[in-house]
Amino acid sequence: MESILDKVVQSHTLCEKEILYLLETKDTKKLFSAADEIRKKYSGDEVHLRALIEFSNYCKQNCLYCGLRRDNSHVTRYRVEPQDIIESARKAKNYGYKTIVLQSGEDSYYTVERMAKIISGIKDFDFVVTLSIGEKTFEEYKAYRDAGADRYLLRIETTDETLYNKLNPGMSLKNRMLCIENIKKLGYEVGSGIIAGLPGQTLESIAKDIVYLKSIPVDMAGIGPFIYHPDTPIENIKGDFFELSLKIITILRLLMPDINIPATTAMDTLNKEGRLIALQSGANVIMPSITETVYRKYYEIYPGKVCLGATPADCRYCTENKIKSINRRISTGKGFHIRQSGL
């Protein structure tokens, strides 16, 4: 353990076997505090806030793990009109946000023209715009980029091809990887990541996922625990996916000291202090929701999502208080990934 930690702290490299060793370790205290130190050294105590609008829960895909999947008929579907999305962003300016993250299912209602209008409308308020709207063609990604989008978040979910293709019917790992390549080629900041604890996933495959994320290399890595949704056809397996997610976050931080790593909302579903613990184990970003309260309960990717009854203002102030409670502070910058030499 000591020698692997020394190596990664010095060189920020590990082979797959060493990553697997860290994923299996019970000595998590040392691992988490090493990542916290590296976070402090490279990103400082600032936490970047990204305001998240979940603007549509329609989805043409059928991922077996996701509550928004096409075949889930128990969901009340909603869409926010382009003008209202822009209005939400305008209001978010008053809370001091610098980035708007637009997230949705894969919803064809939002044509390239509509998305371009939304993106440029939000850019008019001098926001950084992140998109998380799924798999698109190169031309579509290019059109969003031309309209001003800066970052794109597309999790690889798992690099185990058999598992990926089984969990994502009608989709393929090859195309997911191609999408990520295209996003990179177009000059977006690339966000990717995995779900930790998918049924059928092994620690060996997670070690490969980590190697993949470093090979891109990502500018942002989002890791969330798998949370079973009863209206999905996936198996309900038990495991400590909270701790597993923390381990993955810490290993990514040790391997890529200067990237952005969010403390994901799903962490709070499994542990009341989940996002704070993640912030103290390598993470440096939080994505408070600015989705209007009326829609929140319908964006049920998994059950038990926090802040369902909260307003955008509640989430802003609660987040600030949480960050202050661990002696960290909200960044006043735009929070781009600044690649430091030699990394």
Binding of ligand SF4 by 224 (CB under 6 A)? no
- Give every CB contact of residue 201 below 8 A, 6+ residues apart in sequence: 158, 160, 163, 195
Q: How far apart are CA 224 and CA 244, in angstroms?
A: 9
| 61 versus 202: smaller Cβ distance to ligand SAM | 61
**Distance (Å, whole) CA 278 – CA 267:** 8
Residue numbers 264-283 binding ligand SAM by CB under 6 A: 266
Of 167, 175, 220, 170, the closest CA to residue 193 belongs to 220
Q: In terms of CB distance, is 195 or 254 closer to ligand SF4?
A: 195
- Kindly identify the residues of this chain, within the stretch 234-273, that bind ligand SF4 according to CB under 6 A: none
Task: Please report whether residue 55 would count as binding ligand SAM according to CB under 6 A.
Answer: no
By the 8 A CB rule, do 142 and 186 touch? yes
- The Cβ of residue 259 has, within 10 Å, a number of other Cβ atoms equal to 27
Tell me the Ramachandran region of residue 189: left when phi exceeds 0, alpha when psi lies from -120 to 50, beta otherwise. Answer: beta
**Shortest separation between residue 179's beta carbon and ligand SF4, angstroms:** 12
Shortest Cβ 59–ligand SF4 spacing (Å): 3
Per CB under 6 A, the segment of 99-107, 247-255, 287-295, 321-329 that binds ligand SAM is 99-107
Q: Which does 69 bind (CB under 5 to 8 A by kind): ligand SF4, ligand SAM, none?
A: ligand SF4
CB of 95 to ligand SF4, least distance (A): 26
| CA-based nearest residue to 99, from 243, 290, 245 | 290
Stretch that binds ligand SF4, among 3-11, 56-64, 185-193, 312-320 (CB under 6 A): 56-64
User: What part of residues 117-136 is at the interface with ligand SF4 (CB under 6 A)?
Assistant: 134
DSSP structural state of residue 55: E
Which one among 98, 136, 214, 229 touches ligand SAM, defined by CB under 6 A? 229
